[in-house]
Every structure is written in C-alpha cells, then in structure tokens.
C-alpha cells in the first residue's frame, strides 16, 4: 500500500454541492478527489466503507476554553481534545483565558503551545487576548499566528483578564484593524449589568434578570458603531439575546464587517427548564426563554447568525455551587455539541448540511482555515462518521471532559459519532483513541 492512500465510501457524503453517495480519495492526509460511489479503488489503496453512515467534514470549534496550563484541574489539552474527537470535532481554537498565563503576549503563547504540543488529539489553534494594557503585544501575537483577539466589554470572571471600556476598545480595535486582524467580543454592557437587580441565590429567574437582554443589545450596538467607524472586522461571541438580531441584520446589510456565533446551549436548552440551583446551566450571557430560542433558530436559517460553537468552559464541580451569583459560569459542550444541535435541527426541519455549514464550513472560514471545513479536493481529510438516526442518553460518566458536569445529563439525543478522522487517520472509533496526532495551527498569512 502506498503511503496514506485511502478511499472512504459512504452512501451519504456531505459535500459543498450537497449530500450524495461518493468515494472520497485521500492521499497523505489530503482529500485528492470526491469520486462516484462505485469508482474503482486504486491498486494499493485501502477501502473504508462506512455504509449508510454519513460522512461529514470534521467540525471546527472556534470557541473552547482549554484552561491549560494553570487551571488544568478544570480542563486540559489531553481531555478537551479527546472529548472533541469523540464528538466529531477535528479542529478547535483555544480561548486566551482561563489558562495561566492568559494568551496575551508572544511569550505566553509559546508557553501554551509547549503545553499543548504532545497532548493534542485534534488540531489546535489559539486566539490572543486584548487587555487594557497590551496594545503593543497585539501585532507581535498576530505575526506569531494567533487567529484573532478576544476582548470582554464587562468583567470576564477572572482577575487576570480585565475588560475594555469603550476608549480602550477603540484603541485596541484601531490597532487590530491596522494589520487586518479580527476582534472577537464578549458583548455585555457593564452599565446595564450594574443596573440590573443582583438578587443572587438558587433561583434561575433571578439569575436571568441579572443578565438582561439589553446588556447584550447595547454592547452589540456599540461594537457595530466602532467597527463601522474604523472599518474593522469584528465577531460577536455567544449571542443569546434575540433582541439584538435586527441590529445585526441591519449592520450586515449596510456592509459592516461583522459575524456572529451562537452556542448549542442557547439553541437546545431553555430558561423554563432550568431547575433552581442547577448551576451546570449557568453561563454568561444566560440561556433565555424558549421564544427567544425560536428567534435564534430563525436567524441561523436566514444567515443573521453565521455559526455555532460550543463555548466549552468547564470548571471543577465544587465551583458549580447552587448559588447562581457565585457559581462558575460556563457550560461544557465539546463532546455533545453535534448531537445536541442536530437533535434540535432535525426537529425544526433542518438538514445535516445546515449543521455542517454552521459548525464546520463557516467556523473554518471565520478563522481563515481554508484546508478545513468541507469535503472537497485539496482540503485536509478530516471527517466525522455519523449515525444520524441513532439515539443515546447522555451519561456524564461517558464524557471525556476532565470534569463530568453537564447540563445535558439524562437527555436523549440523536446522532452517534462512530469514528473521527484527522488527516486520513482514524483517531477515535467506538471510544478507542489513538495516540495524539493533532497539530498546532497558525493563521494563514
Ligand atoms: Zn467563552
């Protein structure tokens, strides 16, 4: 057998032109051709026939908090990338916080890469961070290959990652625009948060009232204004408030360079179902009402929202107390995101092609990874093999996440990932993993 020659065959291959029976030829980790289903397998090539299971491009999750080094007890590269692989994700981009150090200087980036190098089961890239005092570090980080810069407009939850006020935002954004970079933003306005009732305690309704929609809407309006003024490229992280959708749609129509993501938990869980004290459901901005959720789905369908990412942000179980005010805010979703989104998507009449567009093609495009995000010649041979009609019930004990706290416990989901492939190698099948084969990615200049 010649080196790495492989043909993957399925009656349902999701390609940019639609779903069809096909044979995908792979050589040395790259897709060389998408051939007719019954194409002859070249002499020496290995055939992997996955039957009626769907072959889709490996998902690209651009919003993951790995927390390694420094808060490795919360999550780490080994566990996060195994969980991702088990869920059909083949590329993740790591957020610049809650690791110690945060990824806010080239030195810190080097530290993070050294930690990740031997542990990555899938490909890993890095975001940089924009802090009030690191404007001088932004260009060097860009040149060192980060995919863009994250900023908070309200307190981040960790002291070492302070937020930007509007003046600092303008300064950082101008610098980032000067080298054609991308700013990704946690958009909640601190003044609106400050004015909201801060009741505390175990009642979800009180927590929801403490993070009102207008905090998101205002911050997004301000961000749009800044992006427009500076002709800068910005991305809204984890949109929850459907009230912001008209603003975003208008900005896009006007040509403002803005993209938007939302997350599986906003699309599949509702405020109405969160039990009091259940802080595994706490994240910021919060999970809102089901009527809000319907509008987020509509916005995905019409393109106002571009993509879906996990915002996987775990902590140790002891920080998930029953007081919503003080419990750690973050939901773990890496291993379950595809199944969670697919379960709702099919119920709402969407196809797997849509899910692939939201969770692979558009996220790859967001960070300029033109070798990822689609099954077509010239791209990396990254795949998930999915049984879309099979169901499973979420058992926290079966998760690869370091901390098995999950808001999805007990839910029955559609879509079982049978195997995941990275550059033509099967990295997990039926819970069995190979040694880490992931690479550390840098932005394509
Ligand atoms: Zn996040």
CA distance 30 to 371: 9
pLDDT at position 4 is 64
What is the arithmetic mean of pLDDT over 419-437? 96
In whole numbers, what is the pLDDT of the chain averaged over residues? 96
pLDDT at position 1 is 39
pLDDT at position 318 is 87
> Which H helix or E strand runs over 361?
none
Residue 143 alpha carbon to ligand 1 centre in Å: 23
Residue 130 alpha carbon to ligand 1 centre in Å: 14
Strand intervals (E) in 171-322:
182-186, 233-236, 258-262, 307-308
Residue 312 alpha carbon to ligand 1 centre in Å: 7
CB of 176 within 8 A of CB of 184? no
List, for residues 325-382, the tens digit of each pLDDT value: 988 889 999 999 999 999 999 999 999 999 999 999 999 999 999 999 999 999 999 9
Protein residues within 5 Å, CB atom, of ion ligand 1: 311
Residue 35 alpha carbon to ligand 1 centre in Å: 39
pLDDT at 423 over 90: yes
**How would you classify the pairing of strands 128-129 and 149-152?**
parallel
> Which H helix or E strand runs over 341?
helix 337-347
Residue 54 alpha carbon to ligand 1 centre in Å: 30
Residue 261 alpha carbon to ligand 1 centre in Å: 11
CA distance 51 to 230: 51
Residue 44 alpha carbon to ligand 1 centre in Å: 46
List, for residues 375-396, the tens digit of each pLDDT value: 999 999 999 999 999 999 999 9
Residue 161 alpha carbon to ligand 1 centre in Å: 12
Residue 248 alpha carbon to ligand 1 centre in Å: 20
List, for residues 208-229, the tens digit of each pLDDT value: 999 999 999 999 999 999 999 9
Residue 148 alpha carbon to ligand 1 centre in Å: 14
The pTM of the full predicted model, rounded to 2 decimals, is: 0.97
Residue 186 alpha carbon to ligand 1 centre in Å: 8
**For residue 359, what is the DSSP state?**
I
Residue 404 alpha carbon to ligand 1 centre in Å: 18
SS3 percent helix, strand, coil of the chain, rounded to 5, is 30, 25, 45
Residue 49 alpha carbon to ligand 1 centre in Å: 38
List, for residues 246-274, the tens digit of each pLDDT value: 999 999 999 999 999 999 999 999 999 99
Residue 309 alpha carbon to ligand 1 centre in Å: 10
pLDDT at position 322 is 87
CA distance 419 to 247: 40
Residue 240 alpha carbon to ligand 1 centre in Å: 13
pLDDT at 130 over 50: yes
Let me know how long the chain is. 445
Residue 314 alpha carbon to ligand 1 centre in Å: 10
């Amino acid at each position: 057998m010649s080196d790495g020659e492989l043909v993957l065959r399925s009656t349902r291959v999701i390609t940019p032109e639609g779903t069809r029976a096909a044979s995908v030829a792979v050589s040395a980790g790259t897709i060389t051709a998408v051939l007719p289903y019954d194409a002859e397998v070249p002499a020496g090539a290995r055939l992997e026939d996955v039957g009626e299971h769907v072959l889709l491009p490996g998902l690209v999750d651009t919003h993951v908090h790995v927390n390694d080094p420094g808060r490795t007890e919360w999550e780490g590269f080994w566990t996060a990338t195994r969980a991702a692989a088990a869920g059909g994700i083949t590329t993740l981009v790591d957020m610049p916080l809650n690791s110690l150090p945060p990824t806010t200087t080239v030195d810190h980036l080097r530290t993070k890469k050294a930690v990740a190098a031997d542990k990555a089961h899938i490909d890993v890239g890095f975001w940089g961070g924009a802090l009030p005092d690191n404007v001088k570090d932004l260009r060097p980080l860009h040149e060192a290959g980060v995919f863009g810069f994250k900023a908070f407009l309200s307190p981040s939850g960790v002291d070492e990652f302070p937020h930007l006020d509007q003046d600092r935002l303008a300064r950082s954004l101008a610098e980032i625009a000067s080298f054609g970079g991308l700013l990704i933003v946690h958009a909640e306005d601190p003044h609106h948060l400050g004015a909201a009732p801060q009741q505390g305690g175990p009642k979800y309704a009180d927590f929801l009232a403490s993070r009102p929609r207008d905090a998101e809407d205002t911050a997004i309006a301000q961000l749009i204004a800044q992006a427009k003024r500076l002709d800068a490229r910005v991305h809204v992280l984890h949109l929850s408030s459907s009230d912001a959708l008209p603003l975003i749609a208008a900005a896009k129509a006007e040509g403002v360079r803005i993209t938007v993501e939302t997350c599986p938990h906003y699309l599949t869980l509702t405020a109405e179902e969160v039990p009091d004290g259940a802080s595994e459901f706490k994240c910021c901005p919060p999970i809102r009402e089901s009527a809000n959720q319907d509008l987020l789905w509509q916005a995905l369908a019409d393109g106002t929202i571009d993509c879906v990412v996990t915002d996987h942000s775990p902590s140790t179980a002891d920080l998930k107390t029953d007081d919503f005010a003080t419990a750690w805010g973050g939901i773990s979703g890496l291993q379950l995101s595809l199944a969670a989104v697919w379960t709702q998507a099919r119920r709402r009449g969407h196809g797997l092609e849509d899910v692939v567009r939201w969770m692979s093609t558009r996220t790859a495009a967001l960070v300029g990874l033109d070798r990822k995000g689609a099954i077509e010649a010239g791209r990396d041979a990254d795949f998930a093999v999915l049984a879309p009609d099979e169901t499973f019930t979420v058992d926290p004990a079966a998760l690869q996440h370091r901390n098995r706290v999950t808001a999805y416990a007990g839910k029955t989901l559609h879509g079982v990932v049978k195997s995941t492939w990275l550059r033509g190698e099967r990295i997990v099948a039926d819970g069995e993993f190979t040694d880490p084969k992931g690479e550390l990615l840098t932005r394509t200049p």
